[in-house]
Structure 1
Amino acid sequence: MKIPAIRLLNQQLLKPLFSTPKEVVSWMGAMQAQDAGMVKWAVGIRTKAGTLPMVEQALQRGEILRTHVMRPTWHLVAAEDIRWMLKLSAPHVKAANDSYAKGRDLEITEELYKRSHNLLEKILCGGKSLTKQEITDQFLQAGIQVDVHRMNRFVARAELEGIVCSGEAKGSKHTYALLEERVPPVPELTKDEALARLGRNYFRSHTPATLQDFIWWSGLSTTEARQAIYLLGASLTAETWNGQTWYLHEDSRTSMKTAASSLHLLPSYDEYLLGYKDRTDVLPKEHYPKAFTNNGLFFPIILSNGEVTGNWSKPAKKGGKHLTHSFFRSETLAEDALLNRGKEAYLQFISSL
C-alpha cells in the first residue's frame, strides 16, 4: 500500500479539490490550530489558489471557527459542524479541563462557572467580539477574581458549553463571541449520527488510517470509535497490510495517473503528521525528535514525495524573504526547483495581504 501517495491526495496536498477555506476545513473534519498563524498556511496550501486574505476572511465571517474541541487543544472547524462536534466531544474535554483546574487549585466551583457564563452572555451580546484581556477586565469589574490560569478555564468551559466561539479578530488578537449569534442554527444530530459523520470526515481526509489513529485524532473512547466505524458500514474498506488493519473511505482518491515528484513546506502542527498516532509510515522513528517533541511541540517540516525529510523556518523578520531549511540526512537530495517552488509558495501566501 502506497500510504504517502494516498495521503497526499486525500489531505489535499496534491491536486486539491476545493476552492474555499470552508470547503477544506469541512473536508478535513477538524485541523489542529495551536499555532494560529501556521494553521492559516495549513488551510491555504490545501486550497486551489489559496491566499492569506481568503483564510482570514473565512475566519472573520465565522465560516470557520478556531476553538477547543475533540482533544483539549485548539482546532479549526466548519461553523455548521461546531455544535454536534461539541456535543460529542465536550464530556471528554471537560473532564481534562476540570482536572487541570483542580491540579492547579484554582478553586472554581460549578456555581462560579455558571456565574461566568451569565457574565459572558451579558458582555458579548449584541454581536460583540472581545479579546481575552477585554473579557478579563469585565470579570474583574464584576468582582470575579481572575488570573491567566483561571481566565483560560472560564473561556474553555464556555467554549465546551457552546456559549462562546471565536469572534472577529482584532489585528492579530484572538477574540470570543457568542456562538448563538455567530453561527446560524442547524438541525441536531443523534449521537450515532455525530459518530458516523466524524468518522466519515476523518477517514475520507486521512485515508488510509487505523482504528488507533482515529482514536488518537478524535479523542473518542475505543468503544465510540468502533461504533463510528461500524456505522460507516460499506463506505469503509478494510485492508490488512504490515500486520495492521487500515481503513479507506469510498470518497477518497487512491490512485494518480502520474507520479510526479512533489515537495511541500508544511506548517507546524500539520494534520499530515499530527492526524495519526503512528507516524512511521511517513517518518522514520529515529527522526521523530526533529519533527516533534515528547511534550507535543510540532515543528514545520519538509515533505518530499509524501515522506518527512527535513525542517524549514519562516523568515526571522516580518516581510523577510529568506526561508532556511535543513534535511534530516546529509545525503538527502531535493531538486532545487521543487525546493524553491515550495519556498515561493509560502512567501506568496504570507505576502498576499
Structure 2
Amino acid sequence: MMQSTTGELSLSWSQVAARRLVRHGLDTPAQGARPAEIVRALCGAHAQVVSAAFWSIGLRSASLTSTAVKDALWSEHSLIKTFGPRGTVHLLAAQDLPLWAGALSALPPSHNGQSQEVRLTPEQTDEVVKVIAAALSDTELTIDELSEAVIAATGSWAGELVMPAFNGMWPRWRMALAQAGICGALCFGPNRGSKVTYTNPRRFLPEFAPVEERRALTWLLKSYLSAYGPATPQHFAQWLNAPRSWAKELFNALSAELEPVKVNGSLAWVVAGDSTFPSSLPQSVRLLPYFDAYAVGGQPRELLFPGRATQRALTPSGQAGNYQVLLVDGIVAGVWHQRRSGRRLDITVEAFEQLSATQRRELDEQVERIGAFLNAQPCLTLGPVNVGAHA
C-alpha cells in the first residue's frame, strides 16, 4: 500500500480482492461460526434460490450442514427469510431485522415500471401493509389465503387483476407485498407442502420495531462498506437498486464517518479507520452458488469478471449472480453446475484457464465440502457447462 499524492491511500485491485475474500469468509472457512454470524458479515444472503442461499452460508464454514442452516431459519429463527436489498428475497440475521426495516423503509419509493393508473397510492399501500401485518399476526398463510384476507379487509380495488405475472395477472394489492416485508410486517414461513407461506416476524421477535431512519441508514452504509468496500455511491446504489443521486447524498451526509481511498487510480470509500488491507492475496478456490453475495455485490464488474468471465458469467445487461461461478483467488475464473440424483451429486466445472496442481487440489476439497454439507456423494467432472442463466 502507498499514499497517493493527494493524500488518499492508493490500493491495487488485488489488495481490494484480498480484503473482500477475508471479509466474506472466503479465505479460510470459519470454525464454529453460526449461520446468522456469517449472514451478518455478507449483509444478507440472497435467497431467491433457497438451496443456493444455504450453500452461500455453508461454503464459508468448515463444519455447518444444510440441516443446521435450515434449523437456524425455521426452528431457532436466528435467520429470517424476507425481502431485502433490491426488494429481492434474502436471509437476514434476525437480530438485525429492526435495522434493515428502518434502513430499507427510508429508501426512495420505486414504482417498478407500473403505469400510474395501476399503482397503489401511498395511502392504499399503507392500508394493505397494516392488513397484512394483522392477518399474519398469529398464523402462516399461503398467498391465496393472504389475498382473501387482504381483499376482504380493504375492498374490491385490492383484488383487481392489474399486475402482470408469470402466468397471468396478479391482484393490485400484491404490489405492496415486498414493501410489507421491507418494513417488517411480513416474512416467509415454512413451506406448506409445495406452497410458500407468509407470517409476521413479530411472532419470533416480539419487541420488533424499525430503527430510526438516520441510525439505520448509517448502519447499512457502514455494513456495506465493511463487506464490499472500497466502493462508490454508484456501487451502493446498484446494490440497493436505489437512485444514484440519493446514494451520493447519503455518502455526503456521512462524509465525516467515511475515508476516501484510490483503487487503481479511481476514488472510492471505506469506513473511517477501517483502512487495513491484507499484504498478500489469499490463495483460494471456491464454488459460489447462484446469487452469492460476493459476486452480486462485487464491483467494479470488469475487474471481478475479467476476460471470458464477462461473456460466460454475466447476463447481457451485466447482471451478476445468474450463473454459479468458480472463484480463484478472488476473481471469477469459471462456471459450474450441479445435478443431484439420490445421494449422488454430479458437479461439472468449466474453468476458463487451466488450473494449477494446487488449485485442482483445492477444487477437489471444495467439491468434498459440498458433499459433506449436503450429505451427498460428489463426483467432479471438468468440462463445458451448457446450462443457461438462472432467471
Q: 1:167 aligns with which of 189, 193, 200?
A: 189
The range that moved more, 189-198 or 246-255, is 246-255
Separation in 2 of the partners of 1:137 and 1:94? 26
Matches within 5 A, 1:86-165: 86-90=101-105, 92=107, 94-97=109-112, 99-100=113-114, 102=115, 113=125, 116-117=128-129, 120-126=132-138, 128-136=139-147, 145=159, 149-150=170-171, 152-165=174-187
CA-to-partner distance for each residue in 1:191-218, whole Å, 9 max, x for gaps?
Answer: 2211210112111122333332222213
Determine the C-alpha separation between the residues in 1 that align with 2:135 and 2:109. 23
Shift of 1:338: 1.5
In the alignment of these two chains, the number of paired residues is 346
Once the two structures are superposed, residues 149-207 of structure 1 have per-residue CA deviations (whole angstroms, 9 ceiling, x without a partner) of 33743532432443211223445654211133232325653322112101121111223
1:7 and 2:20 correspond:
yes
* 2:137 alignment partner AA: C
CA–CA separation in structure 2 for the residues paired with 1:93 and 1:74: 19
Alignment of 1:49 with 2:63, yes or no, is yes
Q: TM-score, normalised by structure 1?
A: 0.82
Q: Show the 5 A alignment for 1:11-22.
A: 11-17=24-30, 19-22=33-36
Q: How far, CA to CA, are the matches of 1:346 and 1:79 in structure 2?
A: 26
Letter in 2 for 1:4: A
Per the alignment, in what secondary structure is the counterpart of residue 254 of structure 1? coil
Aligned pair in 2 of structure 1 residues 316, 187: CA closer, same or farther (>3 Å)? closer
Q: Which amino acid aligns with 2:232?
A: T
The answer to whether the Cα contact below 8 Å between 1:20 and 1:48 also exists between their aligned partners in 2 is no
Q: Where does residue 34 of structure 1 map in the other structure?
A: 48
More strand by share: 2
Question: Map of 1:1-353 to 2, 5 A cutoff?
Answer: 1=12, 2=14, 3-17=16-30, 19-60=33-74, 61-90=76-105, 92=107, 94-97=109-112, 99-100=113-114, 102=115, 113=125, 116-117=128-129, 120-126=132-138, 128-136=139-147, 145=159, 149-150=170-171, 152-170=174-192, 173-186=195-208, 189-222=211-244, 224-226=246-248, 228-229=250-251, 236-249=258-271, 250=273, 254-255=277-278, 261-294=283-316, 296=319, 298-329=322-353, 331-333=354-356, 335-351=359-375
1:292-325 CA-partner distances (Å, limit 9, x unpaired): 2135461111111112111111124353221111
Checking the alignment, whether the CA contact within 8 Å between 1:70 and 1:86 is kept in structure 2 is no
Cα displacement (A) at 1:333: 4.4
Match for residue 387 of structure 2?
none
2 CA distance for matches of 1:73 and 1:227?
A: 24
CA RMSD of aligned residues (A): 3.3
- TM-score between both structures, scaled by the size of structure 2: 0.75
Q: Which has the higher helix share?
A: 1
Instruction: Flag structure 1 segments of 5+ consecutive residues without an equivalent.
Output: none
Higher deviation after alignment, 140-149 or 237-246: 140-149
The offset of 1:120, in angstroms, is 3.4
Give the secondary-structure state (helix, strand or coil) at the position aligned to 2:346: coil
* Identity %, equivalent residues: 24
